[in-house]
Amino acid sequence: MSRKYRQSGYQDSEREKRPKPPPRIKGSGGRVETKFHLVTRCNNCAAEIQVMDGIQVTDKCRHCNTDLHTCRNCLNFDPSARNECVKPVEVRVANKSENNLCPLFEAKVLIEKKGSGAGPKAEDSHRQAFLDLFKK
């Protein structure tokens, strides 16, 4: 049973009966630093998009060749909001997966955890192992 008070003299007899944890060795265990990075992904194929100046109206995905300047790739897209947009939109866009000229478009930037291991190669091998599960 854990006690609320840890001052010396307060039920020391119970504390002495418990086995002591092994001493911690410096450099092993301890805190693991988790690293995150910002990434923009294609809404259709989830491929990483290199965004330097923002997504232009004419940009297409390198992998699946779909338009990138769409509502589904926008930060303001919300299926539960009115007109499926967080911002007040004057004209509703019917097809959210097609290219549009919306002036309120902002590229959706995600915060993702970097893969553990030896950098991007380890991350790719994990992704490939996942994709191999569903191959026939």
Contact criterion met (CB below 8 Å) for 41 and 55 = no
What integer pLDDT is reported at residue 118 of this predicted model?
A: 45
Q: Is residue 123 part of a domain?
A: no
3 assigned to some structural domain: no
pLDDT tens, position by position, 60-108: 888 889 988 899 999 999 999 888 999 998 888 889 888 888 888 888 8
DSSP 76-108: TB-TTSGGGBSS--SS--S-TTS----TT--B-
Distance in angstroms (rounded) separating the CA atoms of residues 45 and 65 = 10
Residue 121 falls within a domain, yes or no? no
How do residues 20-41 score in pLDDT, each as one tens digit? Answer: 666 665 555 556 667 888 888 8
DSSP state of 71: G
> Domain of 87?
35-113
Asked whether residue 81 is assigned to any structural domain, the reply reads: yes
Question: In this predicted structure, what is the pLDDT of residue 78?
Answer: 92
Residue 70 domain-assigned (yes or no): yes
CA 13 from centre of chain: 49
Res 128 pLDDT > 50: yes
Task: Give the global pTM.
Answer: 0.56
Q: Is residue 77 part of a domain?
A: yes
The number of domains in the chain is 1
Is position 84 within any domain?
A: yes
